A and B are shown apart, each in its own frame.
Chain A
Amino acid sequence: MSADLSFGLELLVSGLLVGVLYAMVALGFVLIYKASDVFNFAQGAMTFFAALALVSVLPRLGWPLALLFVVALMTALAVAVERLALRPLAGRPPLALAMSTLGVTFALGGLAQALWGTEPHRLSLGISAEPIQAAGILINRVDLFAAGAVAVIVAALIWFFQRTKLGLGLRAVADDHEAAMSVGIDLRRVWVVAWTLSGLVAIAAGILWGNRIGVGFAVSLIAFKALPVLIIGGIDSIPGAIVGGLIVGATENLAEGFIGPLVGGGVQEIFPYLVALVFLMVRPYGLFGRPVIERV
């Protein structure tokens, strides 16, 4: 029994740590949805684009400069996407905007591979790969670093939203577009800020995931892992993304470890969705999501 317990504990810890990484990806979606009600299909492609850009310029520029370059690049990209793919569709049904971001996905993927090639790259963070021993289980150092990084980013985001004028503007826009416009908040500027923030989050996610799985096209597929996170936590809630990520990560691993052998394995993808469905039955907008109030 104790073997099972220790096995379960190790699954849980590694699951929680990877859940933090899922939350990182989910944050990108949340930021954009909060500000503009758009589901950004391109988040995965943006993550891949940022990671590939970084590894491609890293050998020539070295760390601080390369990071700055990528930050500037993603900001420019965010501005370009907002101006070219979204602003012309302002006021249109959200699905049209979502589909536009799907087009951006193809375009970004193609652009990244055209600019920087199709070879997978290595992204090293300079952290030793030796795991840490604690309570009889092994914990990955990089995962702990990632958890720390995510905590810092979330704290920064929370500070941004609570204390800065721009952040308050974003929250106002998320609450009610028209009311925000009527008090003089520039909607377009807010959208650009939201997309830039999401781009920066994509850089962080790209670095962490690129380090974990290598920087290649598959990095853009990580975004799909964020979907159950979004519906458990609520698509417009930052704490929801974190909580949802932790739940999804833990569920994945525990389900695969304990229920997998009973049914033939390979259930780690389905289980978060099943758990999400159960959550949704009780709270149809996710744990922390804002219920949509419909007027009849």
Chain B
Amino acid sequence: MRMRRLWSGSAAASLAAILALLVASGPAPGASSGGVLTVPQPIYRTGAYAAGGSGFAGGREDYFALLNARGGLDGLKVQWSECEDAYDTARGVECYERTKKDMVVVWPSSTGITYALVDRSIADKIPMVTIGYGRSDATDGKTFPWIFPVLGNYWSQASSFIRYIAASVGGEGSLKGKRIALLHLDIPYGREPIPMFQDLAAKFGFEFRNFPLPAPGLEQSAAWVDMARRFRADYVIQWNFGQSCTVPFTAMHQVAFPIDKFMGVWWCGSEEDVRPAADLSKNYVTSNFTGVGRNFPVIQQILATVYKNGKGNIDEARVGTVYYNRGVIEAAVFSEAVHNAIKQFGLPVTGDKVRWGLEHLNFTEARLHELGLTGMIPPVTLTPDDHGGVSSAYFQRWDGQKWVRIPGLWQPYADLVRAQIAKSAAEYRNQKR
């Protein structure tokens, strides 16, 4: 009885405490008032993908801290905040709804949340920047005026893989008769590149087969035995996410599949994916849409300015890692768009103006140099019709300790990619009529 009273007391007390904390909140200022630009971020720091979420948030926040240390973004001090959504779509939507009045951009950082917010962002006039994920057909600015892939979409990446493989076998002509397998999670994200690979297989004459893994894809031995023994793949590309990216290293060893014929998508290419496999993941190649490592002016500046005072937003050892650099780039793209918007329209900053800024994003070599981003991303120019995404991919190799970039840029087969985009965008317009 005493126990029950103790429990019920604690339940009531904790609920009251939470409600009290909730009530003790004031209204937040508008997005850019009083010289402050607020940037709320729905992000996930728990759950299976926490490493990615914390990397994004850390990278973005450090870049903003760097800007603030230099006087702000065109005079505006960037004030960020986080909202935990645990990679859950319902909570992501709730976070968005809670913070959208201060938002001029949203980074969903999750495919599910991206799909759920497509209509909202249009109605709320908040541009969605989905670099390297989300809908591949969002490159079409006419159909998706408020979504910006900017640097890479999945179809472009898929075709870059084929170009990379072609380079390894001595040209597109030698692709004929080769067998390429796609090992992927059996969810929309994993199935997305299949039409692209099928188109490329038809064009170049290689045999393509996909091997779906039911989510979460932790048990892959059947697929590997098949790919190694029956299908006898020449190359295996993995299109997984989370720990399903790590499992192949042990699984392929079991069937003696060589690692140099195995490569991964850019969501399977972070330090967290390869470290648990130790030596087995050495020489693993993945694609990327940003540079990796600390050897870039902007990262060095962040280390010197932000971390010198111990005010970093992430564990310092993670500065320069794959997810971190992606966060930096997301913040850099956003800052550039805001800069464009302020130059064109002046204050205050609104979502609509940031959209204009994104549509007129012009990262030339010179501009990248100015911002310290040389080598982190290729030069990219967006237009109102082309929101980016059909772009060259970097490739990187894991040497056991860190990622090392493979020199070169691998272009996509742009005509095929654009054809796919046009088809898919038309289907979307048909659905939405």
Contacts and interface: CB of A to CB of B under 8 A. Distances in A.
B256 A256 contact: no
Interface stretch (A35-43, A73-81, A162-170, A210-218): A210-218
The secondary-structure label for the interface of chain B is helix
A129 B259 CA distance: 14
Contact of A10 (B3, B229, B250, B273): B229
A253 B221 contact: yes
Contact of B222 (A113, A217, A253): A253
Contacts of B246: 120, 213-214, 216
Contacts of B48: 216-218, 221
Nearest to B231: A261
A242 interface: no
B97 interface: no
Nearest to A129: B253
Nearest to A123: B276
B47 A257 contact: no
A189 B217 CA distance: 39
B211 interface: yes
Nearest to A253: B222
Given A131-B253, A225-B219, A217 B50 contact: yes
A187 to B, nearest CB: 17
B243 A122 contact: no
A153 to B, nearest CB: 21
A130 B253 CA distance: 7
B46 A10 contact: no
Contacts of A161: none
B91 to A, nearest CB: 14
A138 B256 contact: yes
A138 B255 contact: yes
B46 A110 contact: yes
A20 to B, nearest CB: 13
A217 B223 contact: no
Interface string A221-257: 1100100000000000000000000000000110011
A256 B222 CA distance: 6
B186 interface: yes
B422 interface: no
B221 A113 contact: no
B210 A122 contact: no
A287 to B, nearest CB: 22
B278 interface: yes
A214 B254 contact: no
Interface in B19-56: 45-48, 50-51, 54
Q: How extensive is the interface on chain A, given as a class?
A: 35 or more
B184 to A, nearest CB: 9
Interface in A11-34: 11, 14-15, 18
A219 to B, nearest CB: 8
B254 A14 contact: yes
Residue picked from A3, A4, A121, A217, most chain B C-beta under 10 Å: A217
Interface in B192-251: 210-214, 216, 218-219, 221-223, 225-226, 229-230, 242-244, 246-247, 250
Given A120-B246, A213-B246, A221 B50 contact: no
B277 A214 contact: yes
B51 A119 contact: yes
A118 B277 contact: no
B10 to A, nearest CB: 11
A213 B243 contact: yes
A212 B225 contact: no
B229 A7 contact: yes
A265 B255 contact: no
A91 interface: no
18 contacts: A7-B229, A10-B255, A14-B254, A113-B46, A122-B277, A124-B278, A129-B280, A140-B250, A213-B276, A214-B246, A214-B277, A216-B48, A216-B242, A216-B272, A218-B216, A218-B218, A218-B243, A269-B214
Given A122-B277, A217-B243, 17 more contacts: A7-B229, A14-B222, A88-B4, A118-B50, A119-B51, A120-B243, A120-B276, A123-B276, A140-B253, A214-B247, A218-B243, A256-B223, A265-B186, A266-B186, A268-B214, A268-B219, A268-B222
Interface of B: 3-4, 7, 45-48, 50-51, 54, 186, 210-214, 216, 218-219, 221-223, 225-226, 229-230, 242-244, 246-247, 250, 253-256, 272-273, 275-278, 280
